[in-house]
Amino acid sequence: MEYVSPTSFPSVVEGPDASPLQLLEKHFGYKSFRPQQQEVIEHVLGGQDAVVLMPTGGGKSLCYQVPALALSGLTVVLSPLIALMKDQVQALQANGIAAAFLNSTLSFSEEQAIEAQLRSGAMKLLYVSPERLLSQNFLDRVAEWNPVLFAIDEAHCISSWGHAFRPEYKRLDILKKVFPKVPLIALTATADKTVRGDIAQHLGMRDERLFTSSFDRPNLSLAVLPGQNRWAMLQRIMARHAGECGIIYCSSRKGTEKLAAQLQGIGVRAEHYHARMDAADRDRVQDSFIQGHTHVVCATIAFGMGIDKGDVRFVIHWNMPGTLEGYYQEIGRAGRDGAPAETILFYSYADVQTHMHFMEEVEDAQYKAIMGAKLDRMKEFAEAQVCRRIVLLSYFSEEVVKPCGNCDVCKDPPKYFEGTLLAQKALSAMFRCHQRIGMSVLVDVLKGTHSTEVQQQGLSQVKTFGLGADVSAFAWVMFIQQFLQQGLIEIDYIDRYHLKITPLGHRVLKGEHPVRLVTPETIKERQERTRKAKLPAPTHVAPESADLLSQLKALRLTISREIAKPAFVVFSDATLIDMATKKPRNVHEFRLVNGVGDHKTKQYAEKFLALIGEYVG
């Protein structure tokens, strides 16, 4: 770890009147905030707690990094992964900001040097893991370093309902007990309604505010393909994305190694990546991918968090993830530059069985039930006959009423029929049963079946009992799944998995919103239709000056090798694209490029301006 001496950072001492926007422009080179960023920052600077949900690439980190610069003291960032800490600290240091991490990769002398800076008050941001923070006497040392803000990254790890639950995160409520006046900001890109409530509760937050940005990534195309013959389909996908960068997620370490070898055999610059590799090998693969030498990484979920690579043009799931949260987080690594990108999920029942096998080995009954419920939602997404984006966003409680036009279902739509009356029957039955029933009991009520559960709860007396007797039980299950996928109803995981009516569902009940349904199909028919459908062909928006952009990337690579840092630490792809478009002619114009701050202007303006000047003549 290269720590940075306090004298290297005269720019972090800000005047008392420096606004968040001024700090953003000076240190990060951006001229404006993204939606909700400024609102979150001002809330935190007011000393209030916050839970922040923003999509991958939405700018979550700035929500605590800008306050860290504005506040007089230390911001402590809790981060779950060593690789993530390293990437973020390098990026901050490259912008002239005093930041460091403390973890097991440092030598004793390096830790001592960093702690000396912390005691002197020179450090602005410190990244540590929850385990380090909770270790013996560490909180006492933190108290001596004048903490003014705690930021908890990947906050979904707090909740046992989250897809990446880590027990030590639940102990972070100690922060409010030891530092009751220091604000907390918890951030995540993947949390459903249940997890959001868990985050605030387990952290002991008081009067916290929830900030939620749209989870939609409209530049990402979504597609699900049958798992049979996936290698033949993958070869066609690779041909379409020749020379472009992408990630293929596999469920096992052996799977990553085997697939990478197969891709190398057909001429693809592919590498494998998983947690059992040596740290040096993992760093080599990651850096090679970031710098564009490696085009495709076949990886387990250990790969991708925090990587600032905007030009990932595709993400493929070779195996189905066990949760929609995990799926969403992983596809979020594609298209972070805003250009079109493709995401493909290969789906087979064998993958479902693999997850079910893992579930059987879980001893905690409640956690096993949680895993099962989330696996069911993942299967419903893969088998959906309605717009996949609506299914995905509805899971995160985001109301969407218009099909996206950028998923395989929208591009090859099934036959729909007017289903508002059927939806109203089901919703009315739920309402009259006080929304205290699950799917199977709802079907019994609609069919007029005197099941044990119906008799025990006296549901045969409700007015809607038998209202849907003319529809088969199988069809009702299919329709109710579509109501769930379209966001008309939701599952309350805490209240015994009962079905609840959403605001959109209430509008349907009142006749204010129409519902279209798909006639039930068997899995075999659905897969056959998918096989016949053409793979979505992504469109690409080339930069105005592609040749200049190529030269700028080559210069960035040269500089990154000289300073022994990943290429994104110099400039992100998005910044180089803006630079190639604007073609700055002097230092003032160079400073106006999006993503170029004061520190990087001093470091790199001369070299990049010389290249641009030679290019434009």
Q: Which two tokens stand for residue 613?
A: 């000047």
Q: Which two tokens stand for residue 263?
A: 């891709």
Per-residue burial over 527-536, b if 16 or more Cβ lie within 10 Å, else e, is beebeeeebb
The pTM of this model reads: 0.76
pLDDT at 360 over 80: yes
* Number of Cβ within a 10 Å radius of residue 113: 17
Q: What is the pLDDT of residue 164?
A: 67
Per-residue burial over 554-589, b if 16 or more Cβ lie within 10 Å, else e, is ebbbebbeeeebbbbbbbbbbbbbbbbebbbeeeee
The proportion of the chain whose per-residue pLDDT surpasses 70, expressed as a percent, equals 92
* 597-616: average pLDDT: 94
Q: What is the pLDDT of residue 521?
A: 62
pLDDT at 162 over 80: no
CA distance 282 to 276: 9
* 391-413: average pLDDT: 91
* 211-225: average pLDDT: 94
Beta bridge partners of 150: 76, 184
CATH class of 416-520: mainly alpha
Q: What is the pLDDT of residue 544?
A: 55
pLDDT tens for each residue of 537-567: 443 434 457 889 889 989 998 998 898 887 7
At 73 the three-state DSSP class reads: coil
pLDDT tens for each residue of 226-281: 888 899 999 999 999 999 999 999 999 999 999 999 999 999 999 999 989 998 89
CA distance 498 to 438: 5
Position with higher pLDDT, 368 vs 319: 319
User: pLDDT confidence of 415, banded at 50, 70, 90?
Assistant: confident
C-alpha R_g of the chain: 26
CA 415 to chain centre: 32
* 75-98: average pLDDT: 90
Q: What is the mean pLDDT of the chain?
A: 88
Entry field: residues in the chain:
617
User: pLDDT confidence of 10, banded at 50, 70, 90?
Assistant: very low
CA distance 137 to 483: 52
Q: What is the pLDDT of residue 45?
A: 96
Instruction: Give the architecture (CATH level 2) of 220-403.
Output: 3-Layer(aba) Sandwich (3.40)
Fold (topology level) of 546-616? DNA polymerase; domain 1 (1.10.150)
Task: CATH 1.10.10.10 in the chain: give the residue spans.
Answer: 416-520
Q: What is the pLDDT of residue 194?
A: 81
| Backbone region of residue 331 per phi and psi (left: phi > 0; alpha: psi in -120 to 50; beta: other values) | alpha
Task: CATH 3.40.50.300 in the chain: give the residue spans.
Answer: 6-212, 220-403
pLDDT tens for each residue of 93-131: 999 999 999 998 899 999 999 999 999 999 999 999 999
pLDDT tens for each residue of 19-67: 999 999 999 999 999 989 999 999 999 999 999 999 877 789 999 999 9
Return the residue matching tokens 């911001």: 75
Q: What is the pLDDT of residue 527?
A: 53
CA distance 599 to 534: 49
* Number of Cβ within a 10 Å radius of residue 45: 15
The proportion of the chain whose per-residue pLDDT surpasses 90, expressed as a percent, equals 63
pLDDT tens for each residue of 574-583: 899 889 989 9
Q: Which two tokens stand for residue 242?
A: 């020749």
Strand ranges inside 372-483, DSSP E: 416-418
DSSP state of 536: P
Angle at 21 between CA 18 and CA 27, to 5 degrees: 80
CATH homologous superfamily for the domain 6-212: P-loop containing nucleotide triphosphate hydrolases (3.40.50.300)
Task: CATH 1.10.150.80 in the chain: give the residue spans.
Answer: 546-616
Write the burial class of residue 463 (CB in 10 Å: 0-12 exposed, 13-18 middle, 19+ buried). Answer: exposed
User: pLDDT confidence of 17, banded at 50, 70, 90?
Assistant: low
